[in-house]
A = this chain, B = another copy of it.
């Protein structure tokens, strides 16, 4: 599971809107809900770190990619190109509904290279995304 810029602050930010769960809480929820899955968690504010992490998938030991690219979603051709190089199931999630915010958030450059996108369900987006990944992997 990859998380892009600013997601390390989840839980501190606007608790009324997003709930009080931190990124750590989400990770715990995912482990609890899917005990059979070995999760690897990475959060970074560095576009390059995220690309490096996408590349590391080539090791062959990873079965799926769940990612929230944050602010890189709408502009990063480099992440997009990295995603095109890997062949495992790839699911993009967003906390808020990107179609209901500023116009520059409607477009997902990274999402063009993902299998699907789940947007607008708060931290539940992560659980739904994991479920989606599991189903994609079993095809």
Which residues of A pack against B, CB within 8 Å? 4-6, 8-9, 12-13, 44-49, 51-52, 55, 58, 70-82, 85, 97, 99-100, 104-108, 111-121, 124-125, 127-128, 131-132, 135-136
User: Which one of A51, A107, A113, A136 has the highest number of Cβ atoms from chain B below 10 Å of its Cβ?
Assistant: A51
Question: Are B6 and A82 neighbours in the complex by a CB distance under 8 Å?
Answer: yes
Inside 8 A of A47's CB, which chain B residues have their CB? 45-48, 78
Tell me which residues across on chain B come within 8 A of A131, comparing CB atoms. 128, 131
Main secondary structure of the interface of A (DSSP, over half): helix
A17 shortest CB reach to chain B, Å: 12
Contact yes or no, A107 B106, CB < 8 A: yes
Is B120's CB under 8 angstroms from A97's CB? no
